[in-house]
Structure 1
Amino acid sequence: MNDRERKRGPDDALNQLFDRLISDEDRTTAGAGKPVDAIGAESAQAYISSMGANIENFEAFVVLEIVRADSIGQISRQGFVEGWTAVYLEQRIPADPTAHRNYVQMCIQNLPQNPAYFKKVYQFAFGLGKAEPAQKALEKDVALVFWDLFLGTAESSDTGVPGPRPWKSQNVDWLGAWKRFLAEKWTRSVNKDMWNQTLAFAEKTLVDETLGFWNEDQAWPGVIDDFVLWCREEGIAKAPAPGTAGGGEGMDVEDY
């Protein structure tokens, strides 16, 4: 491989790998004689499974983030080639199915222990859940399913299977409380800021389950402010005593 090819990455080999994923249904969707620029849901699920990822849980999102998928049910040729090219340039992972599978398995194992990587995949998932690319928010039911997959606890997840980073502290099942609150108080969709800041808030609750980091002058979304007040009304979290650590001093809302 010469210097020019090394900088460009293994595009030809990746295009050939993508061609092997195309089904007759994908060809029909593209139209007779037209190039196939994307694979549909059935082919995408088969590919995810071929990478050793479970299509029923968070592992699917790991694969979809790598290949820069447009949606849960579609992987474009461009995203596939660009995504794996980026991995090649950063990690020198060759354009080979076995090497790709091994890399995916490494990422799956890494995600629960790596907050930065978890955040990256979590935030990418927001775009996958939108019904249309131009849509600005997730439907509430979709967001709830996604929260189960990423933050689920054995007690509150609809599947009964914990996510890679369960939203549960020593004394509080926060995801269960969050889902109850939304069922009672929230009828709207979930925009990107709410999606991202929920993770930021979740991480802080795992450090301080009294919610002492919160105060009304911070820039949390209104729904999270309401959740804090609801938790205190329900006795889920007690306000920190005056003069103790907490009260939100020095605790800024993170730029997610």
Structure 2
Amino acid sequence: MPPYSTSQKQAIAQFVNLTNSKDSVASKSLRATGWNVERAVDALKFPFLTNRFFAGTAGPSKSTKFLNEVFDSYRDDAEETPDGIGIDGAMKFLGDIEVQLDEVACLAIFEMCKCPSMGEFTREGFVDGWKMTHCDTKPKMTQHVQYLRSNIPKDPELFRRVYRFTFPLSRMQGQRNLQFEIAAEQWKLLFTADRGGVPWNTATTAWLDLWIEFLEGRGKRPVNKDLWEQAEVFMRKSLEDEDFGWWSADGAWPGALDDFVGYVKGKRGQGSEMEVE
């Protein structure tokens, strides 16, 4: 991939998430629309409307003007950070649209706005993210939060998008992996029903508790991106079939998940094909 700015990389990631396109298609479409994600997505889906719909729309729309005004009202320091909202402003904004900090919908807002870190918004991410949802008033933003709460647990694609974005969002600056303590807290948030996530438990197995217990027993090692992403895939599989009919010792699972299968089987008194550390 050619060298892109941070905002361009965020736009490419957002386009790919929305359209399931390749990065090359995303970058080509975005360059053609001046890196405007909303226009690029519409141009891909409705090419016959592109020229007519976007003709004469070079100036800022009313929604863009409103969203910039909202953004400006929450900046902590207008002079030092003209294009950023810090933690204090972010907390006030989230409170005003009725988002709790300990719910998955909060992570979904961060994903939608492509926040560079927890509780930090950029102007471009904020404006583009809310424009994509067609929310140009605070009441509409609050309604969208309700939509997220209702749909995250039952929409696997939406959940996966939020789940995967949580990994870079939660990493400490300069680190490639996620500290175990942080990963564990995020799993407890994302895999728990009362916080708006997908509950990871079945009739006979408290999967989430066993997963945390297992990783603690391995020494609370940092969690890499592959393990983080595959844990969600494993979770889905275990909810579909808690007896491991889908699992194979020759599969391409990360080693920790292979060992976890052995750990669970050992807890059930079934024996194991895997060596448990």
Distance 1:86 1:126 in 2: 23
Give the corresponding residue for 1:13.
Answer: 66
Change (3 A) 1:94 1:177: closer
Distance 1:112 1:180 in 2: 24
Deviation for aligned residue 1:41: 1.1
Deviation for aligned residue 1:152: 2.7
AA aligned opposite 2:154: Q
Instruction: Provide, for residues 199-225 of structure 1, a one-character-per-residue CA deviation record: whole Å limited to 9, x for no partner.
Output: 000111111111221111110001100
AA aligned opposite 2:175: Q
1:145 to 185, 203, 210: 185
Structure 1's unaligned 5+ residue stretches are 88-92, 154-160, 241-256
Distance 1:223 1:7 in 2: 52
Distance 2:148 2:96 in 1: 15
Distance 1:57 1:15 in 2: 26
Change (3 A) 1:94 1:187: closer
Conserved 8 A contact 1:53-1:105: no
Distance 1:184 1:110 in 2: 34
2:222 to 177, 185, 189: 189
Aligned-residue sequence identity (percent) comes to 30
Q: Secondary structure of 1:138's match?
A: coil
2:150 to 97, 109, 114: 109
Change (3 A) 1:152 1:237: farther
The correspondence of residues 13-162 of structure 1 with structure 2, limited to 5 A, is 13-23=66-76, 26-27=77-78, 31=80, 36-87=82-133, 93-132=134-173, 134-152=174-192, 161=194
Change (3 A) 1:208 1:7: farther
Conserved 8 A contact 2:105-2:196: no
Moved over 3 A (4+): 1-4, 6-10, 236-240
AA aligned opposite 1:68: K
Distance 1:142 1:218 in 2: 28
Conserved 8 A contact 1:168-1:174: yes
**Bigger shift: residues 204-213 or 173-182:** 204-213
Distance 1:2 1:180 in 2: 54
Query: TM-score, structure 1 length as denominator?
Result: 0.78
Instruction: Provide, for residues 74-102 of structure 1, a one-character-per-residue CA deviation record: whole Å limited to 9, x for no partner.
Output: 11112101212222xxxxx2421111221
Distance 1:177 1:187 in 2: 14
Q: Secondary structure of 1:124's match?
A: helix
Deviation for aligned residue 1:141: 0.4
CA RMSD of aligned residues (A): 2.4
The correspondence of residues 168-179 of structure 1 with structure 2, limited to 5 A, is 168-179=201-212
Distance 2:83 2:91 in 1: 17
Structure 2's unaligned 5+ residue stretches are 1-52
AA aligned opposite 1:147: W
AA aligned opposite 1:171: T
Deviation for aligned residue 1:163: 4.9
Deviation for aligned residue 1:18: 0.5
